[in-house]
Structure 1
Amino acid sequence: MQPNTTLFFLCDVQTKFKPAIYAYEHVVATSNKMVRLAQLLHIPVICTTQNSKALGPTDPDIDLASLDLNLLLGPFDKTLFSMLVPDVRAILDARPDVASIVIFGIESHVCVLQTVLSILALEKKYAVYVVADGVSSCNSFEIPIALDRMRTHGAVISTSESIAFELMRDAGSSNFKAFSKFIKEVKESTKTSGEALLQGRFAPSVSPPALPASQVEPEIASGGVVIGLKSSM
């Protein structure tokens, strides 16, 4: 992944969602982090809103005004759940050099998911990265299910900091000093957003080995009902 062949997709982070979305303030914090990264590395940001007449504009707490004019593409309002509306398709068609797309926003199981699936279904193949500490839904249980589905279809599930370093690539780069300063400045929000949106949400990919039958005993609830098994070790 390289900055000059990457686009960021900011998906529908709007004011009216604030009371409904799980850990909304952390999605905003990570979105701001990605916007700052975009400015630092000169990566264009495609921004959409979902039915802004009803749901409001992009949250003003996301500092889109800090982007150079040529880096902010949108906001494009839409009713389609996917971000791949005609305006966005036109941007992709006009930039054949783009190889990677990084997406963050809401909701993980609706607009983010459908955007990812529609990009992966395009004839041109893009590497799609989902910022796991930058997506959320109204119901928190939807988040890991959506991320798992996107991973299954070929998206890379990563974190804002991992993606930032992957784009930076080289500590010998001329702008690494500014990058390092940026990483230090967002250190606390990186931690709190990651803990809020990710901690405990991913099951291990490998199941633990089964215990021998002699080391397993039933777990009994009141009334003698067996509700599970527990180790006797």
Structure 2
Amino acid sequence: MHSMSLTTTALRTVGKLKPENTVFLLCDIQERFRPLMWRGETVIRSAQYMTSVAKALDIPIVITQQYTKVFGETIPETFADAEHMKNVPKFEKKKFSMCTDEVKDHLNTLDKQSVVIFGIEAHVCVQQTCLDLLEDGKEVHIIADAVSSQQPYDREIALHRLSQAGAFLTTAQSAVFMLMQSADHANFKAVSKLTVEHMKLPNEFNDISTVASKI
């Protein structure tokens, strides 16, 4: 019994992130949704911070767009560098989950175990994507200050549900510093500069307390 307990503990992932084993998913942050999302501008600003860090740390990004003809293109401000955005693979979808056949094929070529996701809506596309990824054995990290829904309650319950399902809830800064692990990291100064600039911007999630109290 004792040895079984040790084995189970050893196999349990604690959610550490490493750049070489990580991919970022940007889920449906599109123009039509911009005025509809609760704390939407913070989501956009946090997404830009994450994509800028991805560029600095050479982490691949995957973008999806839900029915682009109706909901529009990905909001340009989700990237600080337009050229970087142009070079990121973008997948059209009507399925709510990002895990379409095309996206899954692409993720298989990347062969990354840790998935960091940000975007909208928390209780629909983000939630279904995370559940699919967890079923596929991926380690899923949700950037709480870069995820939202039209209704705050939908967002709150979705984050709670996903935490129960085995996803890791984190914040943009927490994930970024875990990826670097040390001030000795070769890109520490560049990422620190991005972080300082990001911290100057308003974060409308700073008043959040309810989700943490339920987990």
Structure exhibiting the larger radius of gyration computed from Cα positions:
1
Q: Map 1:14-25; keep pairs closer than 5 Å.
A: 14-25=30-41
Shift in alpha-carbon separation, 1:136–1:157, aligned structure 2, 3 A? same
Over aligned residue pairs, what C-alpha RMSD do you find?
1.7
Please, which of 165, 172, 177 is the counterpart of residue 184 of structure 2? 172
* Cα deviation, residue 69, structure 1: 6.5
Q: Which residue of 2 aligns with 1:201?
A: 210
Taking the aligned partners of 1:35 and 1:163, their CA distance within structure 2 comes to 12
Any stretches of 5+ residues in structure 1 without a counterpart?
207-233
Q: In structure 2, what residue type is equivalent to 1:57?
A: E
Q: Map 1:17-166; keep pairs closer than 5 Å.
A: 17-63=33-79, 65-67=82-84, 72-74=88-90, 76-96=91-111, 98-122=112-136, 125-166=137-178
Any stretches of 5+ residues in structure 2 without a counterpart?
1-16
Higher helix share: 2
Taking the aligned partners of 2:86 and 2:36, their CA distance within structure 1 comes to 31
Q: Which residue of 2 aligns with 1:181?
A: 193
Q: In structure 2, what residue type is equivalent to 1:121?
A: E
- Aligned residue pair count: 198
Give identity over the alignment, percent.
36
* Cα deviation, residue 144, structure 1: 1.3
Instruction: For CA contacts below 8 A with separation 6 or more, give which structure has more relative contact order.
Output: 2
- Give the TM-score normalised by structure 1: 0.80
Residues 3 and 41 of structure 1 are in contact (CA less than 8 Å); yes or no, is this contact kept in structure 2? Answer: yes
Residues 28 and 62 of structure 1 are in contact (CA less than 8 Å); yes or no, is this contact kept in structure 2? Answer: yes
Residues 56 and 191 of structure 2 are in contact (CA less than 8 Å); yes or no, is this contact kept in structure 1? Answer: yes
Taking the aligned partners of 2:124 and 2:118, their CA distance within structure 1 comes to 12
Higher strand share: 1
SS at match of 2:77: coil
Taking the aligned partners of 2:85 and 2:77, their CA distance within structure 1 comes to 17
Residues 39 and 68 of structure 1 are in contact (CA less than 8 Å); yes or no, is this contact kept in structure 2? Answer: no
Taking the aligned partners of 1:66 and 1:40, their CA distance within structure 2 comes to 14
Shift in alpha-carbon separation, 1:111–1:205, aligned structure 2, 3 A? closer
* Runs of 4+ deviating beyond 3 Å: none
Shift in alpha-carbon separation, 1:77–1:68, aligned structure 2, 3 A? closer
Taking the aligned partners of 2:60 and 2:121, their CA distance within structure 1 comes to 22
